[in-house]
Structure 1
Amino acid sequence: MSMDRTSAYTRLVSGLVFPLHERLKHHESVAVRRELERSQWMSAAELQALQLQRLRQLLTDVGQHVPFYRELFAREGISPSDFTELASLQRLPFLTKALIRAHTEALKHEQARDLARFNTGGSSGEPLIFFIGKQRVSHDVAAKWRATRWWGVDIGDPEMVVWGSPIELGKQDRVKAVRDKLLRTELLPAFEMSEAKLDGFIAAIRRKRPRMLFGYPSALSHIAKHAKSRGQRMDDLGIKVAFVTSERLYDEQRAVISEVFGCPVANGYGGRDAGFIAHECPAGGMHITAEDVIVELVDPQGRPVPVGEAGEIVVTHLATSDFPFIRYRTGDVAVMDDRTCACGRGLPMLKEIQGRTTDFVVAADGTVMHGLALIYILRDLPGVAAFKIVQHSRERCEVLIQAEADADRQTMVPSVIRGFRQRLGAQVEVDVSFVDGIPPERSGKFRYVISHAA
C-alpha cells in the first residue's frame, strides 16, 4: 500500500481509532484478530487440536453454568472429559430454532452480563429470538476483520455498504453517524431499487470512490446491471474488492459485479445466529473460521455425510458460552472442500454453499425492492412461527403463515395486509392464509420469498 494520505488515515483508524472504539465497548477484538492472523497458518492437525481444546473448555463451562446443558449432561451421563476427539460431538443432540424458542432462558449462562438481544428470520423464515455476549461479538468482529485484511483493505478504508436490515438502518443516531464518518463507512438502504434510487446509488458510489463495497449479492448485482444499462462506467473508481454476504452468490452475479466495478468479489457466509462461519480468500478458498467454529455436514437423518456430498451445515461456535450455539442446525446446505488452498492457510474450506436465497419483489408501480422489505414485516409480528411469501403478480401477493398456538390471528391478518400495501401499493391484493407447516422446495431447501413478478 502506498504511503499516501489515504493509507496513513487508514493506519490511524485500524491501529488506534477502531481499537479504542472496541476497548470502550469492552470487546477483545484486537487481541483476537492478532491471534487469528497467527493461527490461520497452522496445519489442519494443529487447528483440530485447538478446536478440541476449546470445545472441552466450552462444554465444561456450559455444563456448570448453563441450566439447559447442566440438565442435559446430568440426564444423559455426559462429561466434557469424555470428549477425546471432535467426532465425540455427535454424542450431543442438535440445537434447533424450536429448541431455542422453547428454552431461551435456560440457555443463558448464569453469570452472563450485558447480553444483546437479537431477532432474526433465518433462511427458513422462522423468527428467532436469541442472545449474544461480548466474547462472541469480539470473536466475530475479529474474524471479519481478518478476512477483510486478506484482500489488502482495512478498517478505515472508504467503504460503501448496501444493506437492508432495520438493525443497521434504525440506528442512525449521532454516535453512529460520527463513528461511520471516522471509519469512512457510508450506508445505502437496499430495500428499494427504483430507477431513481439506483441512479442515486451510482452517483453516491462515484462520489465516495470507495476502496471496498459490502452488501447483498442481489443488491450489488442489481446496481451493477443498472450502471451497465445506463452506460455508466464504475471500474475507474479504485474499488479493490466487493464483499458479499447473506444470500447465495450466483456465478452470474459474481461476473456482473466484477465486470462493472472492476474488482474481485469476495463471498462471505454466516449469520447473526451462527456467527462468522466462512470467507473467501483471494486464491478462491472459502475458509471456515476454524479457530471459533466447528462445522459438521449432515444428511436429513442427522448423520455425517462423506466429503464431496451435500449436507446441512451444523455449527458449534466455540465463543458462545454466554448463550451456547452447540450443534446448531442452520438449515443451509453445503459441500465440504478437501483441497488445500493455494494461499497456504490451514483453515478448512466449504464449497457450493446452497443456502440463503432471497428474491426481489416488485411494487405495483414497478419499484423493485429486496425481498427483506416484506420479510421484516412478518418477522417482527408476535405469534409467527414460520412463513412464505409468493408474489404471483404486481397486483397479487400470497402470504402463508404458520402461527403459534396462542397467536392472535384476527389482529395478525390486518397487520400483514397493511404492512404489505405500504410497501407494494394500496390497491395490491394480499391473500393471507394460515397453514400447519411451510413445505420445502422440491430440492429440500426452503425459500421464504418467491416472486413471479420480478
Structure 2
Amino acid sequence: MVSGLLFPLHERLKKHQTLALRRQMEISQWWSAEQLQDLQLARLKRLLTHAQHHVPYYRELFARLGFQAEQVSSLKDLQALPFLNKAEIRGNTEALKSELASGLARFNTGGSSGEPLIFFIGKERVSHDVAAKWRATRWWDVDIGDREIVVWGSPIELGAQDNVRALRDKIFRTKLLPAFEMSEQKLDGFLEQIRQTRPKMLFGYPSALSHFARHADSRGLSMDKLGIAVAFVTSERLYDEQRSQIAATFGCRVANGYGGRDAGFIAHQCPHGSMHITAEDIIVEIVNPQGIPVPAGESGEIVVTHLATSEFPFIRYRTGDIGILADTPCSCGRGLPVLKEIQGRSTDFLIAQNGTVMHGLALIYILRDLPQVRAFKIIQESLDLTRVLVVLEQELSPELKQKIIHGFQARLGTGVTIQVEQVAEIPAEKSGKFRYVISKIGTN
C-alpha cells in the first residue's frame, strides 16, 4: 500500500514525478549501452540549451567560449566546457540559478570533502534522485513501506523531525536514529530499537552500522535472526572489514551506494556486485590530474554532469573523489555502466572526553555553515587535544576562533583544548588521498 499508493500520492502532492520516472528507469536499465548514450545525448543537449538561454552563469560562459549548445552532436562535446568546482559555485551561486526556476530548495553538502558547499535543487532534480534511489532499493527485493531503520547524522534530516515528519515516517514504517553520539548507553538503546522494530532493511553510514555491529557482538546480542534482508550504506567509502562485520552481525547482504547531495545519486550496487551508474540522469567522466578524460580501467577524478539540474546546473562538476570505470558490463544484464572502484571518501569516528563515540560529521557540521571557512581538517591528537586547520577567506578573527572552540567543546567536552590554526591550504596525506577527520585514538 505504501509503495503503490501512499508514497506516490505523497510525491504527487509535492509536485514530483517520481513514480513515472522510476517506472521508466526500470525499463531503461535493460537498454543497451548505445541506447543509453543516445538518451544521454538528447538530455544533455536539452540541458545545455536551457543553460545557454536561461542560466546567467552559463550564458556568459558559453558566449565567451563561442560554445553553441544547439550544435552539440556527441557526448565528447562536453569536453569543450571547463569544470565546475565548489569555488565556482560559491562565487556564482545566484548566477547559477535558472531564470525560469521556482521553488528552489537550499541544500548543503555534509562537508566530508573538507569544502562545505551551499547550492540549490529544484523539483525536477529531487524527482529524478528519489526515483533512482527507489529503483536501486527494489533491486534487493525490498521496497518503500518495508520496515526500515535509518542511521544518519545530517541536520537536514535530524532537524526536520517535527510532528508532520514523524507521522510520515510512521506511515512509511521508517525510523531515524541519530549517528552523532554513540555512547555505550545510546548504542544499547539503538540495538534494542532494531530488535523491537525487526526492520527489513537498514540504511546509514558504513562506519556507523559496523560500529553498531561491533557493539552488538561485544554485548553478545544476536542480531542475525531479525529478518533484515539488506543494509544500504552510503556517504563514505565502504571497507571490506566493514562489509564483513555488518553482514555477519545482522545476517544480511550489504549494498553500497555512491553519491551526494551535490553530485546526485551517482551509482548503486546491484546483487551481482557491480556499482551501476544512474546513466539516465548522470554522465560520469574520469579525468587525470591534467583534466583529460581517461579510458575505462584507468584511475582518475570522478566528474559528473547531472542531466536533471536545469534549475541549478551541475555540468562537469568535480567531485574530488577518485574512481575507475569498468570496461566490461555486469553479469546482471543491465546496460547501465559500472564504476569498478571508488576511492578517497571517508570520515572517522571521534571520542569525547567522557568516552562518547561520535561520527566525525558531528564536528564537520560545526564548520560547514561558517561562510568564512573555505576548507578544513580536524585532527584529534588525544582525548585532551584536538587541532582544527582552517583555510579562510580572511584573517582568523578572535570571534570566529571562539565560535569554533565553543562548538567543538560542546561535543568533545569543555576540558578539551581546541587549537584552531589558519593555514594556506589543506595538504594531502602521503598516499595522495585527503582525509579531513582524523582521530589518533582507537574506537574499539
Q: TM over 0.5, yes or no?
A: yes
Correspondence for 1:146: 135
Q: Deviations over 1:94-134 (max 9, x none)?
A: 00100001111110000100000012244421111100000
Distance, in Å, in 2 between the alignment partners of 1:263 and 1:127 is 34
How far the C-alpha of 1:304 sits from its partner, in A, is: 1.1
Report whether the alignment pairs 1:92 with 2:43. Answer: no
Report whether the alignment pairs 1:410 with 2:398. Answer: yes
Correspondence for 1:450: 438
What is the one-letter code of the residue matched to 2:408? F
Report whether the alignment pairs 1:72 with 2:66. Answer: no
Distance, in Å, in 2 between the alignment partners of 1:355 and 1:66 is 32
Distance, in Å, in 1 between the alignment partners of 2:26 and 2:106 is 29
TM (norm. structure 1) is 0.96
Counterpart of 1:345 (choices 328, 334, 338) is 334
Distance, in Å, in 1 between the alignment partners of 2:434 and 2:259 is 17
Q: Does the CA contact (< 8 Å) of 2:146 and 2:201 recur in 1?
A: yes
What is the one-letter code of the residue matched to 1:414? Q
Q: Does the CA contact (< 8 Å) of 2:111 and 2:365 recur in 1?
A: no
Q: Deviations over 1:143-190 (max 9, x none)?
A: 000000000000000000000011100011111011000000001100
What is the one-letter code of the residue matched to 1:338? D
The alignment-based identity, stated in percent, is 69
Correspondence for 2:72: 83
Q: Does the CA contact (< 8 Å) of 1:392 and 1:453 recur in 2?
A: yes
Report whether the alignment pairs 1:133 with 2:122. Answer: yes
Q: Does the CA contact (< 8 Å) of 1:123 and 1:331 recur in 2?
A: no
Q: Deviations over 1:302-331 (max 9, x none)?
A: 011232121100000000000000000000
Q: Does the CA contact (< 8 Å) of 2:182 and 2:356 recur in 1?
A: yes
Report whether the alignment pairs 1:420 with 2:408. Answer: yes
Correspondence for 2:421: 433
How far the C-alpha of 1:240 sits from its partner, in A, is: 0.5
Q: Deviations over 1:170-226 (max 9, x none)?
A: 011111011000000001100111111111111000000000000000000000011
Report whether the alignment pairs 1:262 with 2:251. Answer: yes
Correspondence for 2:101: 112
SS in 2 for 1:329: strand
Q: Does the CA contact (< 8 Å) of 1:402 and 1:437 recur in 2?
A: yes
Distance, in Å, in 2 between the alignment partners of 1:96 and 1:263 is 38
What is the one-letter code of the residue matched to 1:261? F
Report whether the alignment pairs 1:246 with 2:235. Answer: yes
Q: Does the CA contact (< 8 Å) of 1:123 and 1:332 recur in 2?
A: no
Correspondence for 2:286: 297
SS in 1 for 2:303: strand
SS in 1 for 2:425: coil
What is the one-letter code of the residue matched to 1:193? M
Q: Does the CA contact (< 8 Å) of 1:163 and 1:189 recur in 2?
A: yes
Q: Does the CA contact (< 8 Å) of 2:111 and 2:364 recur in 1?
A: no
Write the mapping of 1:164-179 to structure 2, written as runs, cut at 5 A.
164-179=153-168
Write the mapping of 1:201-280 to structure 2, written as runs, cut at 5 A.
201-280=190-269
Q: Does the CA contact (< 8 Å) of 2:2 and 2:172 recur in 1?
A: yes
Distance, in Å, in 1 between the alignment partners of 2:290 and 2:181 is 40
Distance, in Å, in 1 between the alignment partners of 2:228 and 2:428 is 39
TM (norm. structure 2) is 0.98
What is the one-letter code of the residue matched to 2:435? R
Correspondence for 1:314: 303
Instruction: Report which stretch shifted further, 291-300 or 333-342.
Output: 333-342
Correspondence for 2:46: 57
Q: Does the CA contact (< 8 Å) of 1:123 and 1:446 recur in 2?
A: no
Counterpart of 1:43 (choices 4, 27, 32) is 32
How far the C-alpha of 1:444 sits from its partner, in A, is: 2.5
How far the C-alpha of 1:388 sits from its partner, in A, is: 0.4
Q: Does the CA contact (< 8 Å) of 2:111 and 2:368 recur in 1?
A: no
Q: Deviations over 1:61-117 (max 9, x none)?
A: 111000111111111111113321111110000001000011111100001000000
Q: Does the CA contact (< 8 Å) of 1:249 and 1:267 recur in 2?
A: yes
Q: Does the CA contact (< 8 Å) of 2:384 and 2:417 recur in 1?
A: yes
Counterpart of 2:273 (choices 279, 284, 296) is 284
Distance, in Å, in 1 between the alignment partners of 2:72 and 2:170 is 47
Q: Does the CA contact (< 8 Å) of 2:396 and 2:422 recur in 1?
A: no
Q: Does the CA contact (< 8 Å) of 2:110 and 2:154 recur in 1?
A: no
Correspondence for 1:382: 371
Q: Does the CA contact (< 8 Å) of 1:155 and 1:183 recur in 2?
A: yes
SS in 2 for 1:106: coil
How far the C-alpha of 1:408 sits from its partner, in A, is: 6.2
Distance, in Å, in 2 between the alignment partners of 1:168 and 1:46 is 37
Distance, in Å, in 1 between the alignment partners of 2:180 and 2:236 is 15
Distance, in Å, in 1 between the alignment partners of 2:316 and 2:210 is 34
SS in 1 for 2:342: coil
**Structure 1 pair 263–121 and aligned structure 2 pair: CA distance change class (3 A):** closer
Distance, in Å, in 1 between the alignment partners of 2:287 and 2:134 is 29
Count of residue correspondences: 442
Q: Deviations over 1:244-264 (max 9, x none)?
A: 000000000000100011111
